[in-house]
Structure 1
Amino acid sequence: MQADESLLKQSSFTKFWLSRTLSFTSFQMISVAIGWQMYALTRDAYSLGLVGLAQFLPMLLLTLVVGHVADRFDRRKIVFICQIIESGIAVLLLVGNMADWLGREEILLAAAILGACRAFEGPSSSALLPMLVPKEWMQRAIAWTTSAGQTSQILGPTLGGVLISVGPVYVYLTAAAALLTAAILTILIRMERTVRKLEPLTARSIFSGLLFVRRHPVILGTISLDLFAVLLGGATALLPIFAQDILRTGAWGLGVMRTAPAVGALLMSIVLVYVPLRRALGPILFGSLAVFGLATMLFAVSTSLILSLVALLFIGASDVISVVIRSSLVQLQTPDEMRGRVNAVNSLFIGTSNQLGEFESGTMAGWLGAVPAAFIGGVGTIVVAGLWMLMFPSLRRLRSLEEEQAG
């Protein structure tokens, strides 16, 4: 019986991983396509920026709502519905191209709906994961899930770019089919029925995710560490400048450099699947951030493409180590009835750090130049790691997930 249950969970996790990979890859493909089409239609950088804003704003505005929804309803069905809607949006973009009515406003509307779907899908999917695997498998499961995201970041833009050269309709057709397949895999996931204690819908229950994070120093330190470390260390936003003006590699070099962090992250996530981190997690977490900062500084001063690629590989690999530790802590330290709201807060912090990190890097580069901006960002990441070690001693002293869980 126990063997059957383990097999059931393993099978469910495989469907979950495939669904997540297909969904993330499709989103990357569509994002590349609508950005390309928006610029082709308008030749306006401002309109191009609005596409990213349209995808980000729903996550910012709906964070508290989506977390509450994920804790009150079947998370598997929420993910399924989001993927069906996303597939429908891909079909509408396909039809808009074929019928020649797709314009600036239609693209922005599609981007906003996709952003809203991602706002619901992300926290619900993250909160679903602990229901599919035993606790002792959690770190490996998160490493595999992280590999899905990195695979998507490599495959999505590449496949999207190739298909755009043939025709945008092929991007949307492929994405619609992949999202429909992801939705089918999601609804086929089998898991044990769990009875969650549902809080009445009140202002307190809506804000309880933020209150929970604030009351638990390990989770607060974990989530805020990601926000500030990535905010300051966003050198990858400056890659076009390094490719054109510093390394002088042109577009092909930019493509290789954009892929390098994802490759490093993918390789490290696969290593962590087979060699999970069991001891001295606190020192490893802060050590990985130090490597992230040093690799960013090395990238900033490099004048060789090979050396820059090595630095970017280390940036991606070290980032995954901290992501796996931080995600494992958030999942294992949060009760199931709160996971949707806490994961929503976590998603908001991650999304904010990525978006604001690009803004910070671009602004700093405008003031000081790309090399000083990237170098200062690396130094800033190391400084943040040092400050967080002092401000959150329980995170610094963390030895194992089991130890912290027991405490």
Structure 2
Amino acid sequence: MNQEVTRRRTPVADPLPRLRAIGRSLSVRNFRLFFTGQLVSVIGTWMMVVNQDWLVLSLTDDSATVLGVVTALQFAPMLFLSLHGGRLADRHDKRLILLVANLASAALSLVLAPLVFTGAVRVWHICVLALCLGVVSAIETPARMSFVHEMVGGDLLPNASALSAAYFNLARVFGPALGGLAITWFGAGPVSLLNVASYLATVTALLMMRPKELLRRPGRVGDGRSVDALRYVAARPDLLLPLLTVAVVALFGLNFQLTLPLLARTVFHADAGSFGLFTSAIAAGSLIGALVGSGRVGRPSAKVVAGAAVAFGTAEALTALAPGPGTALVLLAVTGLTAIFFTQAVNHRLQLGSDPAYRGRILALYTLVLQGSTPLGALLTGWLAAHHGARAALVLGGLISLAAGLGALGPALRRARASP
């Protein structure tokens, strides 16, 4: 009887404090507006990605090579402009840069809609627009990433950064699935218009912000050249090693924009309605990984970064061996979780370990190696998939990522043993 009373009186853990801890940076009004606008905008962007891939594959009889070229064109500007974008972010008003970039992206997306509605769209149209959107993204990304610090400050930066990854992956859960359904129900033209409208959500959020509440440093920050950031990183092994690791993993393992549509369409023969589920599966896992990362306090260790790369490479290689679509979707969720945990660990290790005067350019370097390697990776992966199939491309990407993680884990363990 006493045991029963004790059990009844045992307090139940209250989940509200934990939920508040996950979303603590949302208490900042400017970041709350930013989060909401970006969520709507990125949903539209992922609908556009599915729409673009479907159009390319439909126009080229499922050509992996052409899809690789389009993907390469979209990310090629990262190789040449992301460092310049980081310098702009260090020297100018980040909010203004984001306003102009989102308006430009909306205008470019608006160009595609009439071409699709009239049936006049051709592959070269998609190639040109993908390249132009890549130019805008190369300027916008360093400003967006470093703008988070201005909204919330250093103490809330890991939480806000993780929530930024969360909205991105929440959008990646719903965006591709909604895109696939919208293509089935309405066609590709209306999806292009929805993407235009989604960019305006971010524009509205930026205009509603209170500039006086932004945590800006007086004067111009980081007037030095982009090469100064390269020298700074070269002199810091704790920054250089994670950048090298993410460069290898991004080049060979993080080519999901190419491998997922090929896996869905050429291996499992998915229709338009289920086409986006493969991207949604990896995004669902990424969302969980982002929420796990939102509880991070302080700078992650080199062992955490390397271990996350090992876990990602293993998960991706296993996904390539999935016998059916159901198993593939589960493994893709695990792959997404480990991928976002790895990239966020690198992001936090760089931001929390670098001088604020270099933050925009350091994040530009991070963007350069994370996304700028995509053009070459897309071409290599497209060639491999065209000659040996999508499974071979995934397996090779996973094994190389696993090797990169193991290569970084050795020095991390040696430094840990040498530390007092």
Structure 2 length as normaliser, TM-score?
Answer: 0.79
Matched with 1:122 is 141
* Structure 2 Cα separation of the partners of residues 70 and 348 of structure 1: 14
Count of aligned positions: 389
Matched with 1:175 is 195
Aligned residue among 20, 23, 47 for 1:29:
47
Give yes or no for contact 1:218–1:395 (8 Å, CA) kept in 2: no
> Could you report, residue by residue, the CA deviation over 1:352-384 in whole angstroms, capped at 9, with x for unpaired residues?
344444444454556766556544543332321
Matched with 1:272 is 293
* Structure 1 Cα separation of the partners of residues 99 and 85 of structure 2: 15
Matched with 2:159 is 140
Q: 1:192 is aligned with what amino acid?
A: L
For structure 1, list consecutive stretches of 5 or more residues without a partner in the other structure. Answer: 1-5, 400-407
> Could you report, residue by residue, the CA deviation over 1:279-311 in whole angstroms, capped at 9, with x for unpaired residues?
973333322222222223332334254443332
Q: Using the TM superposition, give the Cα deviation of residue 196 of structure 1 relative to its aligned residue in structure 2, in angstroms.
A: 4.2
* Structure 2 Cα separation of the partners of residues 161 and 90 of structure 1: 18
| Equivalent runs, 1:245-264 vs 2, <5 Å | 248=268, 250-251=270-271, 255-264=276-285
Aligned residue among 69, 80, 101 for 1:61:
80
Aligned residue among 4, 12, 33 for 2:30:
12
Structure 1 length as normaliser, TM-score?
Answer: 0.81
| Equivalent runs, 1:75-224 vs 2, <5 Å | 75-97=94-116, 102-165=121-184, 166-190=186-210, 191-198=214-221, 205-224=225-244
Q: Using the TM superposition, give the Cα deviation of residue 110 of structure 1 relative to its aligned residue in structure 2, in angstroms.
A: 2.5
Q: Using the TM superposition, give the Cα deviation of residue 161 of structure 1 relative to its aligned residue in structure 2, in angstroms.
A: 2.6
* Structure 2 Cα separation of the partners of residues 186 and 395 of structure 1: 43
Matched with 2:7 is none
Higher fraction of helix: 1
> Could you report, residue by residue, the CA deviation over 1:238-295 in whole angstroms, capped at 9, with x for unpaired residues?
456655776x56447764433222111112222333x335697333332222222222
Give yes or no for contact 1:221–1:392 (8 Å, CA) kept in 2: no
Q: 1:56 is aligned with what amino acid?
A: F
Tell me whether 262-271 or 190-199 shows the greater mean CA deviation.
190-199
Matched with 1:315 is 335
Give yes or no for contact 1:231–1:360 (8 Å, CA) kept in 2: no
* Structure 2 Cα separation of the partners of residues 394 and 376 of structure 1: 28
Distance 1:43 1:115, change over 3 A: same
Tell me whether 309-318 or 388-397 shows the greater mean CA deviation.
388-397
Matched with 1:71 is 90
Tell me whether 62-71 or 286-295 shows the greater mean CA deviation.
286-295
Distance 1:376 1:119, change over 3 A: closer
Distance 1:19 1:283, change over 3 A: same
* Structure 1 Cα separation of the partners of residues 300 and 62 of structure 2: 50
For structure 2, list consecutive stretches of 5 or more residues without a partner in the other structure. Answer: 1-23
* Structure 2 Cα separation of the partners of residues 39 and 183 of structure 1: 32
* Structure 1 Cα separation of the partners of residues 51 and 274 of structure 2: 21
> Could you report, residue by residue, the CA deviation over 1:313-343 in whole angstroms, capped at 9, with x for unpaired residues?
2211112222222111222223333222221
Q: Using the TM superposition, give the Cα deviation of residue 80 of structure 1 relative to its aligned residue in structure 2, in angstroms.
A: 0.8
RMSD: 3.4
Matched with 2:360 is 340
Matched with 1:404 is none
Q: 1:264 is aligned with what amino acid?
A: G
Give yes or no for contact 2:169–2:287 (8 Å, CA) kept in 1: yes
* Structure 1 Cα separation of the partners of residues 234 and 70 of structure 2: 33
* Structure 2 Cα separation of the partners of residues 347 and 178 of structure 1: 23
